[in-house]
Amino acid sequence: MKKEYLIKKMIKIIKENPGIRPLEINKKLKVEHSWNLRKALINKKYIKKIKKGNAVYYYSVK
């Protein structure tokens, strides 16, 4: 799959599921890992990462 396609799909998934966990994102994208895409989106301020204890949640910013 193309990186641009995965990025657009990930943004849509996070907007539709605020507070989604990384494993759920990976399952919806049907990929094994997506940390590099999430990191890029955080750096570009499209999503934010909230950590509560050991759990990590992702939210849309835009």
Range of the domain at 10: 3-60
The Cα–Cα gap between 52 and 29 comes to 24
Global pTM? 0.89
Residue 3: the pLDDT is: 86
Residue 1: the pLDDT is: 61
Element (H, E) at 4: helix 3-16
- Of the pLDDT bands very low, low, confident and very high (cuts 50, 70, 90), residue 52 is very high
User: Of the candidates 21, 24, 13, 10, which has an alpha carbon nearest to the alpha carbon of residue 49?
Assistant: 21
The Cα–Cα gap between 31 and 40 comes to 16
Q: Domain tally for the chain?
A: 1
For residue 24, give the CATH number of its domain: 1.10.10.10
Token pair for 19: 């507070």
First to last CA, the chain: 24
For the stretch 1-43, pLDDT in tens is 688 899 999 999 999 999 999 999 999 999 999 999 999 999 9
